[in-house]
Amino acid sequence: MSSAAKNLLRFLATSGLVMLSAVALTFVVDPLQIFRPARLFAAMYSQDSRMQDAGLIRSQNFDTVFMGTSLAIHFRQSDLDRVLGVHSLKLSLNGSTSVEQNFVLAAALERHPKRVLWEMDDWIFREAPDIDSNIHVPADLYRRNLRGFASYLFSGSMARESAWILARSIPLIEKPVAWLTTGVLFKFPISHVDDINVLRPGFDVAGTYNAKRARAAFRYISDPVRSVHLSDGVDYDMRVRNFERDAIGLIAAHPDVTFEIYYPPYSILQWVAMRDASPQTFEQVYHFTAYVSRRLTSFPNVRLYDFREAKDVTHDLNNYADVIHHSPTIDLKVLSWLAEGKYVVDPTDPTASLDRLKAQVEAYRMEEP
Amino acid sequence: MTKSEKDLMLFNSYPFIFLFLPIALFGYFALGRFGNLAPAIWLALASLAFYAVSNWAFVALLLASIAFNYLVGWLLIAYRLRTGVRFAVLTAGVAGDLLVLCYFKYAGFLAANLNALFSTGLSVNVLLPVGISFYSFTQIAFLVDAYRGKVAHYALPHYALFVTYFPHLIAGPILHHKDMIPQFESAESKSPNPRLILCGLMIFAIGLFKKTGLADGIQPLVSLAFSSEATPSFDQAWIGALAYTFQLYFDFSGYSDMAIGISLMFGIFLPLNFNSPYKATSVIDFWRRWHMTLSQFLRDYLYIPLGGNRNGRLLRYVNLMITMVLGGLWHGAAWTFVAWGALHGVYLCINNAWNHFGPAVAPRFARVTEIAALILTFLAVVIAWVFFRADSMASALSVLSKMADPTQIIFGRGEMANTMFVLIYAALAWFAPNTQEIMGYDHTNRTVGETSGAWSRRPAFLYVSAAVLAFGILGIQQHSEFIYFRF
């Protein structure tokens, strides 16, 4: 064999060896805690819930899971535990669809929690790709199959994160490494599970949630140029199909689990924008929500809450960053309502709260500051 | 993500690295025993298969384009036509290529602009065949050279391979027939050369790492300035613009390195496309270092035929502007690309005027001047990249306005950390040797690893580059497309 051919073999063998070393590093450090809860190295967590949840479901102990969109992302698990007397795991996903929520919840339900808290609105039932076509959800890792483990272990970014977590465990360089871990390039900046996706200390709550911003958002979405988007993805039949598959399918398959589902307290401006700029959208959302309420309340293991009629919150625009996203103060209020059983939808009259909301919307007049 | 993006067989994908490339190499060298033509046909078929995986709908277009240009070229080469007829044949050939290119690339853009001006209600949705900009240009060059009498007759399989050759087909480098076809005809490249395969793998490794380790790694910082939700501060806008400057360089030069490395495994030397462009000390110098094969094409087949610098200073500037605006438009059918090209045209005019009218620099200030020139050139290029990256003119102007407004500075912990990462990338671009320096790759003399200073001659480099390949492969993300695929 020529020396060039020997060098070629050495090169390929070395590449293979380095790859196996990286695999070993990821397996030992296990940044997502897929194989075992963190022991050798301090546990670190990512803000990327679609990835992080695959590990949380395995590494955490819980009897209650909390699911939702950006409206449920800033909750603290410790608040849930304290107010509701549970041992919770927050799995909320920013901008998520019912396909994603169903998939993550189904994986969590394999750990047999007693209760699911679910922030649910009509928007999650929009059209969405199936879970295996969704590049943001590592579906096989949730499924814990060979392909999922291989994609985790043979991932350069996981090896890089592992090396970074390893570096962070060295006392001499711990501080600069922690300082550089902002979550943008290195994705595991959080050291306490309770801090995942909560608002950082010193966050300007008053500057973010105020009536000025809520009104500005209202003007933006109800502008004639953009108001056409209010009707994006509101096709009734499609939403019903998605709801039946992703929500009812899961609820019916787990009769031993209690599903506490709530409609989030959007600001009244969201509905007023529809009323004024796209009345047909308002009608469609009304009919779809009525259908959802009737279906959900027909299950004995579902308790449905409608917080959209909570006038003291939804009419106070200082609670909002735009027309739907409410402040952390309202997060706590939502928990207290859940604990106190307020705004529970009556199974014998499931659309009563919806009709009260409709009356509020029809009567509402914008107050300019 | 669109279906076509998802289905592309990228160089930075497992199917390409572990399946397509080994099979293509094995077939090529196995058929090398049966003569000179069979491996070329195999490689052309493999290239078509490579293209068909993601663009099967456009394979017929590619084949038709090859047949059309080969026929026109054959008329120009094989027949002694009168001058007027030769010119008419050339015009028909070039016009045919440009018409197809314009239809697929610019029809939608034209319709949108007509709509904006006259409310015509015209709507055109045409899918862009991947690589059409590249294979159109290579064949236009072939026709022009055939007209000039600079082309010998090529066999159809070699010509087809020249156009379809998979290492360059999708995003260049833009090949020249006089450089490539003699290599395809040569018997030497048809038997496996372990040294060339090893050097090719090393170059491929460097390119793959540039893409998956460096370009993909810094991508999150780009969205700080350019995402639709972003309202960046002064420092965030600069971090985003600089991050894109380095992302684009490592992405495209990484792709070009991978193309060169893959081709070298087949014993074929591709031309260089990059030569440390951010080390340029003038915009003229920059264009000799950035996307070099495009610059050469535009110079030889647009700028010089327009008159180049032969008709006085003013017309030279006009020719520069035309060349750069069309070069910008070649990158994409959008006003942002036109603005980017026009800005570089203006830069080149200023640069030429400065060379002519500017004061001479005293030797004792040469070093300082050179550093100042490097910084000025770099900043000019960064500003132009904002147009190149932005989704719209409004977005580009918004980012530029943030970059010009130092009253809004955040520079918190996140921005400081991001600045550190940008500085690391800058250090790599400014101070690290480039791939051809590391490998001693000499396209002109068809040698690699033979220059005494090349790192590739050091034994330890074998292991370092093997590790680089491993990190490059591990860094592969299933949703990471090369930026230049869309051009």
In terms of Cβ atoms closer than 10 Å to its own Cβ (0-12, 13-18, 19+), residue A231 is middle
**Residue B231 burial by CB count (10 A; 0-12/13-18/19+): exposed, middle or buried?**
exposed
Average pLDDT, chain A: 92
Q: Which of residues 404-443 of B touch A (CB under 8 A)?
A: 413-414, 417-418, 420-421
Check residues A234 and B79 and name the one with the higher pLDDT. Answer: B79
Query: Helix or strand or coil: residue A348?
Result: coil
Please report the pLDDT score of residue B475 as a whole number. 86
Q: How many CB atoms lie within 10 A of CB A193?
A: 17
User: How would DSSP label each residue in A279-335?
Assistant: HHHHHHHHHHHHHHHHHHHTSTTEEEEEGGG-HHHHT-GGGBSSSSPBPHHHHHHHH
For the segment B397-407, the average pLDDT, to the nearest whole number, is: 94
State whether residue B175 sits within 8 Å of chain A by CB: no
Which of A184, A200, A203, A208 to mutate: most B Cβ within 10 Å?
A: A184
- Checking phi first, is residue A85 left (phi over 0); if not, alpha (psi -120 to 50) or beta? left
- The length of chain B is 487
| Contact call for A135 and B478, based on CB within 8 A | yes
Residue B397 burial (CB < 10 Å; 0-12/13-18/19+)? middle
Count other Cβ atoms within 10 Å, centred on residue A176. 13
Buried b (16+ CB within 10 A) or exposed e, B265-294: bbbbbbbbbbbbbbbbbbbbbbbebbbbbb
The answer to whether residue B476 neighbours chain A at the CB level (below 8 Å) is yes
Two tokens, residue A254: 């787990």
What chain A residue is nearest to B197 in terms of C-alpha separation?
Answer: A8
Give me the pLDDT at residue B246, please.
Answer: 97
Partner-chain contact B417 A135, CB within 8 Å: no
- Partners of B447 in beta bridges: B442
B33-44: buried (b, 16+ CB within 10 Å) or exposed (e) per residue? eeebebbbebbb
User: Is B477 at the interface with chain A, CB within 8 A?
Assistant: yes
Interchain contact, A15 vs B414, CB within 8 Å = no
Looking up tokens 């020396």 gives: A3
Q: Say what the pTM is.
A: 0.82
Model pLDDT for residues A249-301, shown as the tens digit of each residue: 999 999 999 999 999 999 999 999 989 888 888 899 999 999 999 999 999 99
Q: A180 to chain B: which residues are within 8 Å by CB?
A: 417, 420
Nearest residue, CB atoms, B466 vs list A11, A155, A159: A11
Pair of tokens at residue B153: 């007759």
Whole-number percent of chain B with pLDDT over 90: 67
Closest CA–CA distance from residue B234 to any residue of chain A (Å): 18
Contact A182 B414 (CB under 8 A): yes
Least confident of B95-104, B124-133, B365-374: B124-133
Question: Is-contact A118 A67, C-beta < 8 A?
Answer: yes
Helix (H) or strand (E) holding B261: helix B234-265
Residue B4 has pLDDT above 50, yes or no: no
CB contact at 8 A, B389 and B224: no
Q: Are A71 and A93 in contact (CB under 8 A)?
A: no
| DSSP for B179-211, written as a single string | HHHHHHH-SGGGS--HHHHHHHHHHHHHHHHII
Closest C-alpha to B351, from B322, B326, B383, B316: B316
In this predicted structure, the answer to whether residue B177 has a pLDDT above a threshold of 60 is: yes
Is residue A223 very low, low, confident or very high in pLDDT (cuts 50, 70, 90)? confident
CB-closest option in A8, A19, A185 to B197: A8
Site from A6, A12, A14 to mutate, B interface, most B CB atoms within 10 angstroms: A14
Reduce the DSSP state of residue B394 to 3 states and report it: helix
How would you classify residue A126: left for phi > 0, otherwise alpha for psi between -120 and 50, otherwise beta? beta
Mutate which of A2, A154, A157, A181 to disrupt the B interface (most B C-beta within 10 Å)? A157
Which residue's entry shows tokens 């032969």?
Answer: B310
Tell me the two tokens of residue B174: 């833009």
* pLDDT higher than threshold 50 for residue A232: yes
Does B418 sit within 8 Å of A7, measured CB to CB?
no
CB B138 within 8 A of CB B65: no
pLDDT per residue over B321-361, tens digit each? Answer: 999 999 999 898 899 999 999 999 999 999 999 999 888 88
Residue A51 has pLDDT above 50, yes or no: yes
Question: Which contiguous run of DSSP H or E holds residue B238?
Answer: helix B234-265
Does pLDDT of A13 surpass 70? yes
Tokens (6 digits) for A330: 């309202």
- The two beta strands, A88-90 and A64-67, are parallel
Grouping H, G, I as helix, E, B as strand and the rest as coil, residue B229 is coil
Of residues B413, B417, B466, nearest to A18 (C-beta): B466
Chain B residues whose CB is inside 8 A of the A155 CB are 474
Bigger pLDDT: B239 or B154?
B239
Least confident of A24-38, A291-305, B448-462: B448-462
| Residues B254 and B207 sit within 8 Å (Cβ to Cβ) | yes
Cα separation of A267 and A279, whole Å? 17
Tell me how far CA of residue A109 lies from CA of A58, A86, A102, A219, in angstroms: 11, 16, 10, 41
Beta-carbon pairs below 8 A across chains A and B: 89
CA distances B435 to B167, B203, B219, B448, Å, are 17, 7, 22, 11
Which pLDDT score, from 0 to 100, does residue B2 have? 36
> Does A172 have pLDDT greater than 90?
no
**What 8-state DSSP symbol labels residue A70?**
G
pLDDT of residue B225: 87
**CA pair distance A203, A195, nearest whole angstrom:** 13
CA-based nearest distance A155→chain B, Å: 5
- Chain B residues in contact with A185 by the CB 8 A cut-off are 217-218, 220-221, 417-418, 421
Question: Above 50 in pLDDT, residue B6?
Answer: no
- Phi, psi of B275, rounded to the nearest 5 degrees: -145, 70
Alpha-carbon distance of B225 to B233, in angstroms, equals 9
Tokens, residue A140: 């096989």
DSSP A102: H
Does B192 contact chain A (CB < 8 Å)? no
Q: How far is B161 from chain A (nearest CA, A)?
A: 28
Answer whether residue A99 shows pLDDT above 80.
yes
Q: Averaged over B148-155, what is the pLDDT?
A: 85
List, in sequence order, every residue forming a beta bridge with A88; answer none if it has no partner. A64
Bigger pLDDT: A182 or B256?
B256
Determine the pLDDT at residue B479. Answer: 57
Is pLDDT of A225 > 70? no
- Nearest residue on chain A to B413, alpha-carbon basis: A179
Among the partner residues B217, B463, B472, nearest to A185 by beta-carbon distance: B217
Taking the C-alpha atoms of residue B27 and residue A44, their distance in angstroms, rounded to an integer, is: 48
For residues A354 and A293, the answer to whether their CB atoms sit within 8 Å is yes
Angstroms from B200 CA to nearest CA on chain A: 11
Could you give the C-alpha distances from B95 to A39, B98, B127, B140, B328, in angstroms and in order? 69, 5, 21, 9, 20
List the single residue in B414, B465, B474 with the smallest CB-CB distance to A184.
Answer: B414
Which residues of B are less than 8 Å from A179 in CB distance? 413, 417
Would you state the pLDDT for residue B456?
A: 65
Q: What is the mean pLDDT of chain B?
A: 90
What does the block give as tokens for A169?
Answer: 């465990």
pLDDT above 90: residue A84: yes
Cβ–Cβ below 8 Å for B218 and A185: yes
3-state SS, residue B442:
strand
Report pLDDT for B1: 33
Which residues of B carry out catalysis? 331
Which of A1, A2, A7, A18 to mutate against chain B (most B CBs within 10 Å)? A18
Chain B, residues 220-279, CB within 8 A of chain A, namely: 220-221, 224
- Point out the residue among B462, B474, B477 whose CB comes nearest to the CB of A7: B462
Residue A335 predicted with pLDDT over 90: yes
The answer, yes or no, to whether residue A98 has pLDDT greater than 80, is yes
Q: Which pLDDT band, with edges at 50, 70 and 90, does B452 fall under? A: low
Work out the pLDDT band at A40, boundaries 50, 70, 90.
Answer: confident
Using CA atoms, how far apart are residues A250 and A252, in angstroms rounded to an integer? 6
pLDDT score, position B18: 93
pLDDT computed for residue B407 by the predictor = 92
User: Whose structure tokens read 């600045």?
Assistant: B419
Say yes or no to pLDDT of B5 above 50.
no
pLDDT tens digits for range A156-166: 889 989 998 99
Quick one: which of A88, A108, A91, A325 has its CA closest to A221? Answer: A325
Cβ separation B462–A10 shorter than 8 A:
yes
Binning pLDDT at 50, 70 and 90, where does residue A179 land?
confident
Amino acid at B428: L
Return the residue matching tokens 């040698």.
B447
Q: What's the pLDDT band for A322 if we cut at 50, 70, 90?
A: very high
Q: Would you place residue B278 in the very low, low, confident or very high pLDDT band (cuts 50, 70, 90)?
A: very high
Sheet holding A258-263, edge to edge: A88-90, A64-67, A115-119, A258-263, A302-306
pLDDT, tens only, B27-80: 999 999 888 899 999 999 999 999 998 788 899 999 999 999 999 999 999 888
Q: Calculate how close chain B gets to A5, using CA atoms only, in Å.
A: 5
Q: What is the dihedral of CA A278, A279, A280, A286, to 10 degrees?
A: 120
> What is the distance between the terminal CA atoms of chain B, rounded to a whole angstrom?
17
